[in-house]
Amino acid sequence: MADPGARRGADVQAARENVQIAGPRSRELFERASLVIPGGVDSPVRAFRAVGGSPWFVASGDGAHVVDVDGTRYLDYVQSWGASILGHAHPALVEAVRAAAGRGTTFGAPTEGEVELAERVTASVPGCEMVRFVSSGTEAAMTAVRLARGATGRDRIVKFAGCYHGHSDGLLAAGGSGVATLGLPDSAGVPAGAVADTVVAPYNTVPDIDERVACVVVEPVAANMGLVAPAPGFLDGLRRACDEAGALLVFDEVITGFRLGRDGASGRFGVRPDLWCFGKVVGGGLPLAALGGRRELMEVLAPSGPVYQAGTLSGNPLATAAGIAALDLLDAEAYETLAERVGRLASGLEGAFDDAGVVAQVPVVGTLLGVFFADEPVGNYEDARRAAANGHYARFFTSMARRAVALAPSPYEVLFTSLAHGDAEIDLTIEAAAASAKELAAS
Ligand SMILES: *Cc1c(COP(=O)(O)O)cnc(C)c1O
């Protein structure tokens, strides 16, 4: 097991060697933010603690780029953690949101957009017959767990180390993403009782599932500990183990849904879960997520069933308008194009690392791409932590940022390529990576 203390040490060391990238206006805003917002950010990984320095503040985005308040224009591989698959400020999406806003932003009553988006989701994902819209992936995963417990009458849930399912108490145990970035095994403020029924298993190994288990929650492609593909047989094995024990299988497709393809990871790997969590892409960059599943299971939710769940802004008309606009542009051709560009980016990055003599791996699953500075294959969280322990990612991040390429400020994330990343952007990224890899090799 990688020692989190040692890993933090490496991160801090790398951070000290970094120069400040953010310009004066960003730094001033960060100082002001830090007085009125804890840590200066509304989501921890935005604070750049794993890579050093302080964040640039974004003034605007267009397509593959963001422009910060100091006027630096970055080629952006964060893309709102994957939500902006069309790139920033796509005209069709902006127009849809503008039109919706003109009709009123929220009513607390049903709207046509909810039906339109729900029909698109259920038509796209075989087996997903109904959806309930919520405002964040956290809510979707939290509700999936409550629904699974309510439907099975069982308490226990099984999750995998390094998989992130949002920040509800019961799912925060051994989470990926920001939890991993900060080296926190869990969070303070989560009572032992809240995770007493959460079992954490290593990714890519089918755990024992018995009759106490309500559900197994998994990222079918793990994308919050870097990118880790499911090993052959893992997802099938989970399906079988759940069926034998009468437990439900929950695919958290908040990243993979509508990014790997219209039918997400369940379609790609041919394994059908009982429940799906969607987020990010499905909301077109607005606060929207969804829980989906088979009809008889979904009808266990209030008001048709006894499991309570609600939301003032759920299925918000701006968000459904954005989701509909996004999904209507995401056809088979769009995914082919995206996968082709991601593939080219991956070979370019591999070449750049090879040429510089930097030990690295560039895993790819369809339209998702990750980078690990390690020679051992990464199959689970323990491997991912070992791979992150050398601090190389922070150095690479800084070199790339100096060349105006914005990667995620954490080694536990993936690169989010959008449809606005054309051949020219991919080429620029590869050039920047070649120069950054040489700097890394020399450091
Ligand atoms: C981002 C993410 C979540 C949480 O979604 P929020 O909208 O940030 O609450 C849940 N699961 C996965 C796999 C995610 O990547």
Q: How confident is the model at residue 177, as a pLDDT?
A: 64
Cis peptide leading into residue 306 (ω within 30°):
no
What ligand 1 atom has the least distance to the C-alpha of 138? 9
% of the chain exceeding 70 in pLDDT: 93
Which one from 11, 252, 274, 383 is the annotated catalytic residue? Answer: 252
| Residue 191 confidence class, pLDDT cut points 50, 70, 90 | confident
The answer, yes or no, to whether any atom of ligand 1 lies below 6 A from the CB of 254, is yes
Q: Are strands 368-369 and 364-365 parallel, antiparallel or unpaired?
A: antiparallel
C-beta atoms surrounding 2 within 10 Å = 16
> Is residue 126 within 8 Å of residue 272, measured between CB atoms?
yes
**146 CB-near residues (< 8 Å, 6+ apart):** 307, 308, 309
Which of 330, 321, 255 lies closest to 283, judged by CA? 321
Assess whether pLDDT exceeds 80 at residue 103: yes
Assess whether pLDDT exceeds 70 at residue 32: yes
Please give the distance, rounded to the nearest whole angstrom, from the Cα atom of residue 255 to the centre of ligand 1. Answer: 7
Q: Are strands 156-160 and 213-218 parallel, antiparallel or unpaired?
A: parallel
| Residue 188 confidence class, pLDDT cut points 50, 70, 90 | confident
Q: How confident is the model at residue 194, as a pLDDT?
A: 86
> Is residue 337 within 8 Å of residue 416, measured between CB atoms?
no
Instruction: Using alpha carbons, list the distances in angstroms from residue 213 to 143, 199, 233, 434.
Output: 16, 9, 21, 48
Q: How confident is the model at residue 175, as a pLDDT?
A: 67
Residue 280 among the catalytic residues = yes
* Average per-residue pLDDT for the chain: 93
The amino acid that residue 392 corresponds to is H
| Residue 443 confidence class, pLDDT cut points 50, 70, 90 | confident
Which one from 77, 164, 203, 335 is the annotated catalytic residue? Answer: 164
CATH superfamily of 4-76+332-442: Aspartate Aminotransferase, domain 1 (3.90.1150.10)
| Residue 172 confidence class, pLDDT cut points 50, 70, 90 | confident
Assess whether pLDDT exceeds 90 at residue 87: yes
Q: How confident is the model at residue 8, as a pLDDT?
A: 47
Strands of the sheet containing 248-253, edge to edge, are 130-134, 289-293, 275-278, 248-253, 213-218, 156-160, 198-201
Domain boundaries in the chain?
A: 4-76+332-442, 91-329
Assess whether pLDDT exceeds 70 at residue 19: no
Provide the CA 211 distance to its chain's centre, in angstroms. Answer: 31
What average pLDDT does range 267-277 have in this prediction?
98
What is the distance between the terminal CA atoms of the chain, rounded to a whole angstrom?
Answer: 27
Please give the distance, rounded to the nearest whole angstrom, from the Cα atom of residue 299 to the centre of ligand 1. Answer: 24
What average pLDDT does range 97-124 have in this prediction?
98
The topology under which CATH files domain 91-329 is Aspartate Aminotransferase; domain 2 (3.40.640)
| Residue 182 confidence class, pLDDT cut points 50, 70, 90 | low
* SS3 of residue 335 by DSSP: helix
| Cα(277)–Cα(227) distance, integer angstroms | 18
Please give the distance, rounded to the nearest whole angstrom, from the Cα atom of residue 138 to the centre of ligand 1. Answer: 6
| Residue 336 confidence class, pLDDT cut points 50, 70, 90 | very high
What average pLDDT does range 42-49 have in this prediction?
93
Assess whether pLDDT exceeds 90 at residue 244: yes
| Cα(79)–Cα(66) distance, integer angstroms | 9
C-beta atoms surrounding 41 within 10 Å = 17
Assess whether pLDDT exceeds 90 at residue 337: yes
Main-chain dihedrals φ then ψ at residue 146, nearest 5 degrees: -65, -40
The answer, yes or no, to whether any atom of ligand 1 lies below 6 A from the CB of 220, is no
Counting ligand 1 atoms within 8 A of each CB, the residue from 164, 172, 365, 414 with the most, and so the one to mutate, is 164
Main-chain dihedrals φ then ψ at residue 58, nearest 5 degrees: -85, 130
Which of 251, 274, 247, 275 lies closest to 264, judged by CA? 251
Complete DSSP assignment for 79-141: GGGGT-TT-BT-HHHHHHHHHHHHT-S--SS--HHHHHHHHHHHHHSTT--EEEEESSHHHHH
**pTM to 2 decimals?**
0.94
Q: How confident is the model at residue 276, as a pLDDT?
A: 99
Assess whether pLDDT exceeds 60 at residue 185: no
CA angle 245, 250, 256 (to 5 degrees): 145
Window from 18-22, 29-33, 137-141, 259-263 with minimum mean pLDDT: 18-22
Assess whether pLDDT exceeds 60 at residue 82: yes
Please give the distance, rounded to the nearest whole angstrom, from the Cα atom of residue 435 to the centre of ligand 1. Answer: 33
